[in-house]
């Protein structure tokens, strides 16, 4: 009974009237069907204390010097709190005249040395100078009906599969202006190296051309290049394609990340940050994309047809710098990255799994438990992130109620199951001004909004991106940030939370702080031609 109660919040039921039975022993009677839908777990139901401790461990590792401030305040207060102003000045004068010049110089030397060690040991600030989001040509734009017609024209799908995909697309939250490659309507196989390279060169070079134009950085100035694409991984690599196309320098540090899902954009960002910390006075470019045609599944299995319905063309390119003099022209400073990996659990590992079906067609199989698995990874990630970003008042209330719950909330009454007081869930809206949540689907965004208690305004960039561009995998968080910039919502000092999740199963967070007010760009922004239509009430 207790197990059933624990699982109840993961499910939602819907009773559907199917009409009157026409034959059989129940002829003439009403018939009903019950649909059971899995939901993200409520974060308020259980919070693992070890992830709270992990968050504080990150905080201590990255800011242990903060612990010395209260100590110095206490010591200084105890020393001078009981003294009058005249006594304080007399005490300072007596202490300075008591020591000779050598002692004073030695003290100053130790002070300067300690201060130098502190500043030298601090990690270099990582600045985001600019970024670009690729916008395909209008001839690749499709409505939802046109998308189904393209699939029908290819001759690869039977009518039940087409009907299933139509239902998914209609309820996905996507609009009628997303982009797909021409090849998906072709009867030939689209998962070829030629098609993959053609699409990769279109989206990657389009985003990079725009980035270099906006930032006025030459390709030869880039010292670090990170490319992430999950499904399409040719030889030579995608990073090598970019180096060859732009004739980049021979000592560039290049990396190509494959198979890491929709959360790979922040993984690439984390790798670029580490490389910038180890290589001073440098620029890094992170390219995030996915190849739609190469991932096109032509089979019958419904769990493998779902990716066909959601993924669309897109690519982002981000320029980072560790040069302190770039502060004046930077847009954002990287504050935190927190990564969570649930791959040790077999169910999480197989939740998004590439394999062949019974007909030997290759595709991505989506587990029916994906919502539950994703919710668990998300809960772990935000619990770890909390101590790094939440105001002290929120942390204090949260930690106190959590300890109270673990120590005194386990009592039971008679035959009833143990009752646990609901823990206090911090208000993340106090930690961030803007939210860029990976636009996976309408259902996922609804559940995230419910669990994190976010407003429609908080979810506006994610819903607009899903509606206008679809699920564009790891690049979606940058289209969302471009939306915020186009709306001129980013002010100096604003904090932006980018949240992604993907196969493995992984959930990753990146936190940025705006170093200046970002004005609406006059060009090179994918939202400029449709900005007045958003937000839309129906999305």
pLDDT score at 403: 72
For 161-178, what is the mean pLDDT? 94
| Position 27 confidence tier, pLDDT thresholds 50, 70, 90 | low
Q: Where along the chain do its domains lie?
A: 2-38, 127-390+424-533
Query: How many other β-carbons are positioned within 10 Å of the β-carbon of residue 379?
Result: 23
pLDDT score at 65: 44
For 477-488, what is the mean pLDDT? 96
**Catalytic (active site) residue 62:** no
In this predicted model, what pLDDT tens digit does every residue of 256-307 receive, in sequence order?
Answer: 999 999 999 999 999 999 999 999 999 999 999 999 999 999 999 999 999 9
SS3 of residue 305 by DSSP:
helix
Cα-Cα end-to-end distance for the chain: 39
**Catalytic (active site) residue 341:** yes
**Catalytic (active site) residue 57:** no
Going by C-alpha positions, the residue among 454, 406, 211 that lies closest to residue 316 is: 211
pLDDT score at 476: 96
383 and 389 in contact (C-beta within 8 Å)? no
Q: Which of 256, 295, 308, 434 is catalytic?
A: 434
Angle between helical axes of 159-170 and 302-310 (0-180°, round to 10): 50
Q: Which of 309, 438, 451, 525 is catalytic?
A: 438
pLDDT at 448 over 80: yes
Distance, in Å, from the CA atom of 261 to the CA atom of 195, rounded to the nearest integer, reads 20
pLDDT score at 334: 96
pLDDT score at 98: 57
**What are the backbone dihedrals phi and psi of residue 150, each rounded to the nearest 5 degrees, phi first?**
-60, -45
Distance, in Å, from the CA atom of 284 to the CA atom of 301, rounded to the nearest integer, reads 41
Distance, in Å, from the CA atom of 364 to the CA atom of 297, rounded to the nearest integer, reads 8
Distance, in Å, from the CA atom of 101 to the CA atom of 360, rounded to the nearest integer, reads 85
In this predicted model, what pLDDT tens digit does every residue of 313-352 receive, in sequence order?
Answer: 999 999 999 998 999 999 999 999 999 999 999 999 999 9
Let me know how many helices (H) and strands (E) the chain has, helices first: 17, 15
Within 13 Å of residue 109, how many CA atoms lie on the same side as its CB?
Answer: 6
Q: Which of 341, 420, 446, 530 is catalytic?
A: 341
For 501-520, what is the mean pLDDT? 93
> Would you state the structure tokens that stand for residue 109, as one six-digit string?
């030397």
Rounded to 10 degrees, the C-alpha dihedral 534/262/498/286 comes to: -100
pLDDT at 376 over 90: no
Distance, in Å, from the CA atom of 288 to the CA atom of 211, rounded to the nearest integer, reads 13
For 149-169, what is the mean pLDDT? 93
For 210-224, what is the mean pLDDT? 95
pLDDT at 33 over 60: no
Angle between helical axes of 144-153 and 159-170 (0-180°, round to 10): 160
pLDDT at 192 over 70: yes
pLDDT at 21 over 60: no
Q: Which of 256, 471, 508, 525 is catalytic?
A: 471
Distance, in Å, from the CA atom of 90 to the CA atom of 78, rounded to the nearest integer, reads 17
SS3 of residue 432 by DSSP:
coil
| Most confident region among 50-59, 408-417, 470-479 by mean pLDDT | 470-479
Q: Which is more confidently placed, 298 or 8?
A: 298
**Catalytic (active site) residue 438:** yes
The residue ranges of DSSP E strands in 93-167, in sequence order, are 127-133, 141-142
In 441-486, where does DSSP find H-type helix? Answer: 442-452, 456-469, 476-486
32 strand-pairing partners: 17
| Position 375 confidence tier, pLDDT thresholds 50, 70, 90 | confident
Going by C-alpha positions, the residue among 132, 130, 124 that lies closest to residue 275 is: 124
Distance, in Å, from the CA atom of 89 to the CA atom of 35, rounded to the nearest integer, reads 79
Which CATH code of 3.40.50.720, 1.20.1050.10, 3.40.47.10, 1.20.1630.10 fits the domain covering 127-390+424-533?
A: 3.40.47.10
440 and 501 in contact (C-beta within 8 Å)? yes
Going by C-alpha positions, the residue among 69, 126, 88, 464 that lies closest to residue 274 is: 126
> Would you state the structure tokens that stand for residue 503, as one six-digit string?
């196969």
Taking CA atoms, 396 is separated from 74, 312, 391, in Å, by 20, 43, 9
pLDDT at 510 over 60: yes
pTM assigned to the model: 0.80
pLDDT at 84 over 80: no
Angle between helical axes of 49-63 and 392-408 (0-180°, round to 10): 140
pLDDT score at 69: 46
Q: Which of 309, 436, 467, 507 is catalytic?
A: 467
Instruction: Compute the mean pLDDT over every residue in the chain, rounded to the nearest whole number.
Output: 82
Distance, in Å, from the CA atom of 485 to the CA atom of 464, rounded to the nearest integer, reads 13
Distance, in Å, from the CA atom of 165 to the CA atom of 303, rounded to the nearest integer, reads 11
CA–chain centroid gap for 156, Å, is 34
For 162-171, what is the mean pLDDT? 94
Share of the chain above pLDDT 70, in %: 75
| Position 207 confidence tier, pLDDT thresholds 50, 70, 90 | very high
């Amino acid at each position: 009974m207790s197990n059933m109660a624990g699982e109840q919040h993961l499910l939602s039921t819907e009773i559907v009237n199917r009409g009157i039975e026409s034959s059989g022993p129940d002829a003439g009677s009403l018939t009903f069907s019950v649909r059971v839908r899995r939901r993200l777990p409520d974060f308020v139901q259980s919070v693992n204390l070890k992830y709270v401790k992990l968050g504080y461990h990150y905080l201590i590792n990255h800011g242990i010097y903060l612990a010395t401030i209260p100590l110095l305040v206490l010591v200084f207060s105890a020393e001078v709190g009981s003294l009058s102003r005249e006594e304080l000045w007399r005490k300072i004068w007596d202490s300075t005249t008591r020591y000779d010049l050598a002692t004073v110089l030695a003290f100053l030397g130790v002070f300067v040395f300690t201060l130098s060690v502190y500043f030298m040991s601090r990690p270099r600030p990582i600045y985001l100078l600019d970024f670009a989001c690729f916008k395909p040509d209008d001839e690749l734009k499709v409505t939802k009906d046109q998308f189904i017609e393209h699939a029908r024209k290819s001759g690869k799908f039977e009518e039940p599969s087409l009907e299933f995909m139509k239902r998914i697309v209609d309820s996905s939250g996507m609009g009628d202006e997303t982009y797909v490659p021409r090849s998906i309507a072709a009867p030939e196989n689209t998962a070829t190296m030629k098609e993959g390279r053609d699409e990769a060169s279109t989206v990657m070079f389009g985003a990079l051309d725009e980035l270099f134009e906006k930032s006025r950085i030459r390709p030869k100035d880039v010292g670090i290049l990170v490319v992430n694409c999950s499904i399409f991984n040719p030889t030579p690599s995608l990073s090598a394609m970019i180096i060859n196309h732009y004739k980049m320098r021979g000592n560039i540090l290049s990396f190509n990340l494959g198979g890491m899902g929709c959360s790979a954009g922040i993984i690439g960002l984390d790798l670029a940050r580490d490389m910038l910390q180890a290589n001073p006075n440098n620029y890094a470019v992170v390219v995030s994309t996915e190849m739609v045609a190469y991932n096109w599944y032509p089979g019958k299995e419904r769990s493998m047809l779902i990716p066909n319905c959601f993924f669309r063309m897109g690519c982002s390119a981000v320029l980072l710098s560790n040069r302190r003099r770039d502060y004046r022209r930077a847009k954002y400073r990287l504050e935190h990255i927190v990564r969570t990996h649930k791959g040790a659990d077999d169910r999480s590992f197989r939740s998004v799994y590439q394999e062949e079906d019974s007909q030997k067609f290759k595709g991505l199989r989506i587990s029916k438990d994906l919502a539950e698995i994703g919710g668990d990874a998300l809960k772990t990630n935000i619990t770890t992130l909390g101590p790094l970003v939440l105001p002290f008042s929120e942390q204090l209330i949260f930690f106190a109620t959590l300890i109270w719950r673990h120590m005194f909330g386990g009592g039971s009454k008679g035959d009833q199951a143990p009752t646990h007081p609901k823990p206090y869930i911090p208000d993340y809206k106090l930690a961030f001004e803007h939210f860029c949540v990976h636009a996976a689907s309408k259902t996922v965004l609804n559940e995230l909004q419910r669990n994190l208690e976010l407003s429609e305004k908080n979810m506006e960039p994610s819903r607009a991106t899903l509606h206008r561009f679809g699920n564009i995998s790891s690049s979606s968080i940058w289209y969302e940030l471009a939306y915020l910039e186009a709306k001129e919502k980013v002010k100096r000092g604003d904090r932006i939370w980018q949240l992604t999740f993907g196969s493995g199963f992984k959930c990753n967070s990146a936190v940025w702080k705006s170093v200046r007010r970002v004005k609406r760009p006059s060009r090179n922004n994918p939202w400029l031609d449709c900005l007045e239509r958003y937000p839309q009430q129906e999305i």
